[in-house]
């Protein structure tokens, strides 16, 4: 076949090789708050911002701050181009900046560094280094431990991890894998409540972020929930697992008013993990599942997917007795997707290893 005339070949090549960025303008992109505090303001302005450095309007709803680990979808105008400056203003007044970002080439952006604004009112440079992990010696698992069990916990304050009492009961040594991959040890003694089956561990080297508890409205039957944790360690993969379900009942086994019954599937190893609503706030702590084999022997029927969680309200009372004032947040406005709730949980959920 004869070659096309040179001008036509050139035009075709230019069409086929047109950069994706030029074809993707105006498409939505995703930002994530990876700082240690909720954000009250998000700005996204085309680069350059101009002489006045105007940040434009706030993309967040005033009644719905962007929690640590949560994401937000930005929908730019088709004519806005590909280069953006972005700013996240935290509820404590600090700011995190991303400058001259090519959102056509990278549609997933994360705010990591938050600093105080300069006295002049201008934000601190966006080139500030990411703060290193706290300089705390790692305590790796003892591979020669005779008896090992595992569970899940989550941050409720700096250096404080909440889990079930039965996860850490009788341990000679407790170590946990943090979301950033470090192994840290719990410092005894733990604060425990055997009746609630809760334990509060001191784990130096964990600055946050802490997961907020749901302050309202009241949980109802049928509310969607997400369980997050590390089931069946050693059998399944080592990464965290997410299951979604609903609140089935407002009391637990034998009418225990300190628990919810839930349909989110849990397995051994999920114990102590967070149960979050679809706004990313804690409504409970996964505690147990019904023993289907025992029920089958007693009743002749196999019970299916009956699981329980300690209520968030009961956990907050326990934490206050331990001297903590847990973070809380209202669960109002549009619900998030399960994947976004998982991102919130992931930055604050830890794998716990009990060695005896």
Residues 6+ apart with CB under 8 A from 60: 39, 40, 41, 42, 66, 72
The terminus-to-terminus CA distance of the chain in angstroms comes to 77
For residue 67, give the nearest of 308, 278, 289 by alpha carbon: 278
Note if 197 is an active site residue.
yes
Please say whether the beta carbons of 136 and 205 come within 8 A.
yes
Note if 166 is an active site residue.
yes
* 148 burial via Cβ count (<10 Å: 0-12, 13-18, 19+): middle
Note if 271 is an active site residue.
yes
CA distance 88 to 116: 12
Q: Could you tell me how far CA 63 lies from the centroid of its own chain? A: 20
CA distance 221 to 249: 6
CA distance 259 to 311: 5
Token pair 């995190």 in the structure block, residue:
96
Question: Helix or strand or coil: residue 138?
Answer: coil
Catalytic residue among 96, 263, 271, 288: 271
Q: What tokens appear for 19 in the block?
A: 């950069």
Catalytic residue among 36, 197, 277, 340: 197
Longest Cα pair distance anywhere in the chain, in angstroms?
Answer: 85
For residue 320, give the nearest of 191, 220, 184 by alpha carbon: 191
Q: Positive or negative, the Cα torsion across 262, 267, 268, 269?
A: negative
Token pair 């996964």 in the structure block, residue:
286
Q: Could you tell me how far CA 253 lies from the centroid of its own chain? A: 29
Q: For the CA atoms of 304, 305, 311, 312, what is the dihedral angle to 10 degrees?
A: -170
Catalytic residue among 85, 96, 149, 166: 166
Catalytic positions: 166, 197, 271
């Amino acid at each position: 076949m004869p070659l096309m005339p040179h001008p036509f070949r050139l035009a075709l090549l230019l069409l086929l090789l047109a950069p994706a960025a030029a074809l993707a303008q105006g498409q939505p992109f995703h930002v994530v708050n990876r700082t240690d505090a909720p954000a009250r303001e998000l700005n996204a302005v085309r680069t350059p911002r101009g002489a006045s450095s105007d940040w434009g309007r706030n993309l967040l709803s005033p009644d719905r701050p962007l929690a640590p680990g949560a994401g937000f979808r930005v929908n730019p105008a088709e004519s806005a181009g590909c280069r953006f400056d972005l700013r996240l203003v935290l509820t404590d007044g600090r700011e995190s900046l991303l400058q001259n970002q090519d959102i056509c080439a990278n549609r997933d952006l994360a705010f990591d560094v938050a600093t105080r604004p300069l006295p002049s009112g201008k934000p601190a440079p966006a080139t500030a280094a990411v703060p290193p992990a706290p300089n705390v010696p790692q305590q790796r698992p003892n591979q020669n431990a005779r008896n090992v069990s595992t569970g899940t916990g989550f941050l409720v304050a700096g250096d404080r991890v909440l889990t079930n009492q039965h996860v850490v009961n009788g341990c000679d040594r407790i170590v946990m894998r943090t979301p950033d991959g470090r192994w840290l040890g719990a410092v005894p003694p733990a604060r425990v409540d055997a009746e609630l089956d809760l334990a509060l561990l001191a784990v130096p080297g964990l600055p946050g972020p802490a997961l907020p508890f749901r302050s309202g409205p009241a949980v109802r039957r049928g509310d969607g929930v997400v369980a997050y944790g590390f089931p069946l360690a050693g059998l399944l993969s080592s990464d965290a697992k997410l299951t979604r379900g609903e609140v089935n009942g407002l009391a637990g086994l034998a009418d225990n008013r300190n628990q919810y019954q839930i349909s989110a599937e849990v397995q051994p190893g999920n114990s102590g993990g967070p149960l979050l609503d679809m706004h990313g706030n804690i409504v409970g702590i996964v505690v147990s599942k019904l023993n289907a084999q025992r029920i089958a022997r007693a009743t002749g029927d196999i019970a299916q997917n009956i699981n329980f969680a300690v209520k968030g309200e009961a956990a907050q009372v326990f934490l206050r007795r331990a001297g903590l004032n847990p973070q809380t947040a209202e669960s109002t406005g549009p619900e998030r997707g399960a994947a976004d709730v998982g991102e919130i949980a992931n930055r604050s959920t830890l794998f716990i290893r009990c060695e005896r």
